[in-house]
């Protein structure tokens, strides 16, 4: 990898100091890519208004085209953090207004660009907050391809669009997963459930490889729903990134009800359980089932 010096026409931030990541990278084949530590962009998807696009200022790379708010990542910065930071700097996107759903990575070895696809959970008005934008606009999904797009975004858009209707959810049979390891959980069921919830929270924040969910893309951030029953209902009620459902009675019935509701709203559902009867009921709903060992493996690798 070769780090090239600045030259006329490169992306820049005239209003502030350069970050060490603001540099061109040249691949052995000669192609040049912006971002010493890679780059990332945010595809913010509003269910009513569409996709937030940025009309790039003329002096930027491929100026005059439309693309996603984004740019060079900082050293040590993960893709999601970089994409949201850039979207905040360029379009005034509030961090709490979006929830990551999946990431798609274009990797050429010496450089990578990560598209972070996020759902708008709190409507906001984008604001041009630095000199890199001519305008910002919400564009309906069906109209995006008709825009004069940045070549990189144009190439990635068909695959991204194909995944926008995918909404994975993982429903965890907490009693079954807790009981899958003989670690003394029966002495403190609520405590054992709380410990598992904490680990699920970490996994939810990290995301899952697409292959673990049988989906396209690279990394997914599915909805996580943990169903607790019996004494475990006293488990922690606050686990970041995990929705906790307390079963009023039989846990299996609640899991089936939750899975059926998610399926009716278009989610791709994975239920984590090793219970044969529950597996059959979930399969009849059109959901997938993964055993407790599958989840334990993910938790151990997190």
223 neighbors 200 (Cβ within 8 angstroms): no
Residue 92 has a pLDDT of: 94
pLDDT tens digits, one per residue of 61-100: 777 899 999 999 999 999 999 999 999 999 999 999 999 9
CATH superfamily of 2-163: Nucleoside Triphosphate Pyrophosphohydrolase (3.90.79.10)
Residue 2 has pLDDT above 50, yes or no: no
Higher pLDDT, 9 or 243: 243
Degrees, nearest 5: CA angle 112-98-56: 55
d(CA 125, CA 94): 10
How confident is the prediction for the chain on average, in pLDDT?
A: 91
**Token pair 């399926």 in the structure block, residue:** 263
pLDDT-derived band at 132 (thresholds 50, 70, 90) equals: confident
Q: Is the pLDDT of residue 302 over 50?
A: yes
C-beta of residue 138 within 8 angstroms of C-beta of residue 68: no
pTM of the full structure = 0.86
pLDDT in tens, 164-222: 999 999 999 999 999 999 989 989 999 999 999 999 999 999 999 999 999 999 999 99
Query: Over the stretch 261-290, which tens digit does the pLDDT of each residue have?
Result: 999 999 999 999 999 999 999 999 999 999
- Using a 10 angstrom Cβ sphere, with 0-12 exposed, 13-18 middle and 19 or more buried, the burial of residue 296 is middle
Quick one: pLDDT band at residue 19, thresholds 50, 70, 90? Answer: confident
Q: What band does 241 get if pLDDT is binned at 50, 70 and 90?
A: very high
* Identical fold between 2-163 and 168-301: no
Q: At what angle do helices 251-264 and 276-284 cross, to 10 degrees?
A: 20
Contact indicator for 215, 168 with CB cutoff of 8 Å: yes
Structure token pair of residue 255:
């899991």
Provide CATH code, domain 168-301. Answer: 3.40.50
Q: Domain map of the chain by residue range? A: 2-163, 168-301
């Amino acid at each position: 990898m070769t780090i090239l010096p600045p030259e006329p026409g490169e992306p820049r931030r005239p209003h502030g100091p350069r970050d060490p990541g603001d540099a061109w990278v040249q691949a052995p084949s000669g192609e040049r890519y912006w971002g010493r530590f890679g780059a990332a962009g945010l595809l913010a998807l509003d269910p009513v208004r569409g996709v937030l696009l940025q009309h790039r200022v003329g002096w930027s790379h491929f100026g005059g085209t439309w693309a996603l708010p984004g740019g060079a990542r900082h050293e040590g910065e993960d893709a999601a953090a970089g994409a949201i930071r850039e979207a905040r700097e360029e379009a005034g996107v509030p961090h709490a207004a979006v929830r990551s759903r999946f990431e798609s990575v274009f990797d050429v070895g010496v450089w990578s660009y990560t598209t972070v696809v996020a759902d708008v959970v709190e409507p906001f008005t984008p604001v041009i907050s630095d000199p890199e934008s001519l305008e910002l606009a919400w564009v309906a999904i069906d109209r995006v391809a008709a825009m004069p797009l940045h070549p990189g975004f144009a190439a990635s858009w068909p695959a991204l669009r194909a995944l926008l209707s995918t909404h994975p959810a993982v429903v965890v049979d907490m009693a079954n997963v807790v009981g899958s390891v003989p670690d003394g959980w029966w002495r403190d069921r609520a405590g054992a459930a709380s410990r598992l919830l904490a680990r699920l929270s970490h996994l939810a924040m990290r995301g899952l490889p697409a292959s673990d969910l049988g989906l396209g893309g690279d990394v997914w951030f599915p909805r996580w729903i943990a169903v607790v029953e019996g004494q475990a209902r006293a488990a922690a009620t606050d686990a970041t990134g995990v929705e906790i459902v307390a079963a009023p009675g039989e846990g299996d019935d609640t899991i089936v009800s939750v899975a059926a509701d998610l399926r009716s709203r278009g989610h791709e559902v994975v239920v984590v359980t090793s219970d044969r009867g529950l597996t059959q009921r979930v399969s009849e709903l059109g959901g997938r089932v993964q055993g407790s060992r599958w989840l334990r493996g993910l938790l151990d690798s997190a």
